[in-house]
Structure 1
């Protein structure tokens, strides 16, 4: 079965895993990338915001008889979601959650508003009036705060704000940012795979031990049942957003939490894609490739709860061309 992944860049471990069950075709807007040396076939295509992007992908899917396409870059999600029918017409499934879920996950203020009245704890996002009041009335008890891009990825552009001067500066510096309650605690990333109907197959928490340039370099899988339970709550609540075709969650997700004082658990953000540290979950026993293959075959899949507790220490490796 042929699978296509986009924006392959340096996602070599992911490619190697998917090749266990698929012939993997990779595409990227850049010719000079290590991922192209590990896929079965590589194509250079335009950026998602450039003319010819969609047409190039559709041509490749038809030419290579692609059964499923999995996008890795958020900038492509909206285009691919809107054009699902065109891909279906050439026999390709777009393994991506629905438009409403993509929109809520992309905008961190929308994430906060959606989960505000749910059973899931989420750090408060301050509206413009509340920020002005903090400054006007000298509400020092609100500090520290976090300011971050509304639609940012990883830890890029995320700043801890400790006082009024920093709040005024970063509020001006980060034009389309949000100001959020600061939660001090242990950070967990949960690798999730759901089937075509949004039912969980894998839910594997990873404790983030060290992050460099927004990417985890040291991490351990942990059988933390409270984190797992909160993740299942998030999945169930997002699945309320089914569209007219019955689509809600689909495929891979990466969900981040903070555990405060080893007690309260707060949802940080949701990304409807593979996380950078997902190879750890593969090694812990999560065979994403096989389960994606089986779901595309129409097999009924159950929730697999067992996995190994192991630690990942990442290092750089080079290829030479």
Structure 2
């Protein structure tokens, strides 16, 4: 039985990681900035932490995981991903595994301009993108979710922003689990059937061989390890256009696991035991997910 830490347990979608850690027979340790968040009452242990933007956050977290005998960390908070990646080697020497890709990979995909350049370089179809205001869609280079995104013809200060060709069609998220060699073990495309605050409130797993081939090309072009999620559009003419890659679990990745198997034991095998993994489940294409509000009562 391992102690596994997950982050931002006050977010709307944090519960599924806590539950899957527990279903796998391990101890769920959760963190959040708020002392009074619902995830505190779902996890087996809880710790309040400073903002990832706090300059003291890395040292605080390092001490937290060492002092509390944490054995694996599943980073999910964009603002802190790079800090965890930079601490991977030091924590590994203390017997603590960090389930995330290396820092050089993260630096590409935490910057939407660098992501665009990666897609262009490797022949992955992607919308036209500029550091100038050439296109209607304007979004932060380092933004997350829908924060800071605007569609406008009005002049915008482009400092820290990119503009991008506006796409239409069906938005698809692909949950991917990569092995220790960076090769995809599972590729699970899903469409959103509802969205709230940038998180999927419903979804359905789909089969699309063209998407799967592009994902294999992406994964062979740069080294990922563990869970990632990739965003793309299927345009009305059937063409695919990729927009971003998040090197972590997504808010709706619970559907990717439900359509395959619990990824937590696979991640333990890969990150903690340093062994390769093989898929043991067929993907349940057509599987749908719905979400609803639930309650936690506490004093």
**Structure 1 unaligned residues grouped into runs of 5+:** 135-142, 240-248
Which deviates further from its counterpart, 18-27 or 271-280?
Answer: 18-27
Residue 9 (structure 2) aligns with: 8
Q: 1:146 aligns with which of 131, 137, 151?
A: 137
Instruction: Verify: 1:301 aligned to 2:277, yes or no.
Output: yes
Larger radius of gyration: 1
TM (norm. structure 2) is: 0.90
Provide closer, same or farther for how the CA distance between residues 118 and 54 of structure 1 changes in structure 2, counting only shifts above 3 A.
Answer: closer
Residue 280 (structure 1) aligns with: 255
Provide closer, same or farther for how the CA distance between residues 94 and 160 of structure 1 changes in structure 2, counting only shifts above 3 A.
Answer: same
Contact kept? 2:129, 2:165, Cα under 8 Å: yes
Q: Which has the higher helix share?
A: 1
Offset, 1:197: 2.8
**Distance (Å, rounded) in 2 between the aligned partners of 1:154 and 1:51:** 23
**Distance (Å, rounded) in 2 between the aligned partners of 1:238 and 1:88:** 22
How many residue pairs match? The answer is 292
- 1:33-112 alignment to 2 at 5 Å? 33-50=37-54, 52-112=56-116
Contact kept? 2:116, 2:243, Cα under 8 Å: no
**Distance (Å, rounded) in 2 between the aligned partners of 1:302 and 1:199:** 11
Provide closer, same or farther for how the CA distance between residues 231 and 50 of structure 1 changes in structure 2, counting only shifts above 3 A.
Answer: same
CA root-mean-square deviation? 1.9
TM (norm. structure 1) is: 0.85
**Distance (Å, rounded) in 1 between the aligned partners of 2:56 and 2:164:** 39
Residue 255 (structure 1) aligns with: 230
Q: Secondary structure at the match of 2:83?
A: helix
**Distance (Å, rounded) in 2 between the aligned partners of 1:286 and 1:228:** 19
Instruction: Verify: 1:188 aligned to 2:188, yes or no.
Output: no
**Structure 2 unaligned residues grouped into runs of 5+:** none
Q: Secondary structure at the match of 1:116?
A: helix
Moved over 3 A (4+): none
Residue 207 (structure 1) aligns with: 191
1:236-273 per-position Cα deviation (integer Å, ceiling 9, x unaligned): 1122xxxxxxxxx1111010010111521111111111
Contact kept? 2:113, 2:141, Cα under 8 Å: yes
Instruction: Verify: 1:156 aligned to 2:147, yes or no.
Output: yes
